[in-house]
Amino acid sequence: MAPWRDFRTTHLGGLQLPTPSLLRPGRKRTRGQSVVEFALVVPVLLLLTLTAVDFGRVFLGWVNLQQMTRIAANHAAEHASAWGTPGDPAQQSMYRQKVENDARLINCDPPDPIPDPIIAAGTQLGAPITVELSCEFNIITPVISNNTKPCIADQNSKAA
């Protein structure tokens, strides 16, 4: 038996079993080391987690912005005469309301005022209509949110 082992006895069901002591002579205690390592690693892991969550939120916002632009272009194509002469303020208001409602649902800040659709070739049947929308998303990761505010833009075209 090694001279550094310090055996103590444990009572287990009436039996006395020798168990080595947790502390050996000449060895320092390292209980606080785990706490220090944990304190060093946790902020990095939280930053990585929040960055991944923010990336997912911005990607979801980009997908929803495409959907929002498609819906706006579809509404503008169905009511192309609303932007002609004379215009239809009720349909223009409905267009802006659809864009604002969809933007609020995806937590983005659309430009103010909402841009009108681009009707380059007139309002006749089959003429192209283009809708360009952009949004600014709020980031929750502390380091990233201090430096940037991502703006995502999308463009969609429909035929009237």
Tokens of 117: 């659709």
Residue 103 pLDDT: 85
> What is the Cα–Cα distance from 46 to 85, expressed in whole angstroms?
56
> What is the Cα–Cα distance from 152 to 119, expressed in whole angstroms?
22
For the cut 60, the answer to whether the pLDDT of residue 86 exceeds it is yes
* Residue 49 confidence class, pLDDT cut points 50, 70, 90: very high
Residue 15 pLDDT: 64
Tokens of 70: 């498609």
* Residue 42 confidence class, pLDDT cut points 50, 70, 90: very high
Residue 108 pLDDT: 79
